[in-house]
Amino acid sequence: VQLQASGGGLVQPGGSLRLSCAASGSTVDAYTITWFRQAPGKEREGVSCISRSSNNEWYADSVKGRFTISRDNVNNTVFLSMNSLKPEDTAVYYCAARKLGGCSPTAEWYLNWGQGTLVTVSS
């Protein structure tokens, strides 16, 4: 599966963005999809995940209640809706897919990655 992330941009604190992860080459519901982010000088961290078939969801504590992950099987896309954005959410956001296994924030377990989209939260 090939992934393409989009939807990043500049937003003020408290604002919202919706990121998209469009899949091609395979159906997105056959994969567990996780959003990761990497801020300057920091390690890549898992943000949110939606598992294949069972539709289990996982969120990092730092984004619970503010971010929502969803999957559109018709358009073969996974979304990350981000509300109440904070400056500390500033990072490059990546989507990644794994064929086997459920949600995990361990980046090394994902073989397929999108190119990343930059989210900047600043006034």
| Cβ neighbours, 10 Å, residue 18 | 13
The C-alpha atoms of residue 8 and residue 11 are separated, in whole angstroms, by: 9
- Checking DSSP bridges between strand 91-98 and strand 117-121, what pairing results, if any? antiparallel
pLDDT in tens, the chain (123 residues): 999 999 999 999 999 999 999 999 999 889 999 999 999 999 999 999 999 876 799 999 999 999 999 999 999 999 999 999 999 999 999 999 999 888 999 999 999 999 999 999 999
3 close to 27: Cβ distance less than 8 angstroms: no
How do residues 70-83 score in pLDDT, each as one tens digit? 999 999 999 999 99
118 close to 7: Cβ distance less than 8 angstroms: no
Mean pLDDT rounded to a whole number for the chain: 95
How do residues 41-56 score in pLDDT, each as one tens digit? 999 999 999 998 767 9
CA 81 from centre of chain? 9
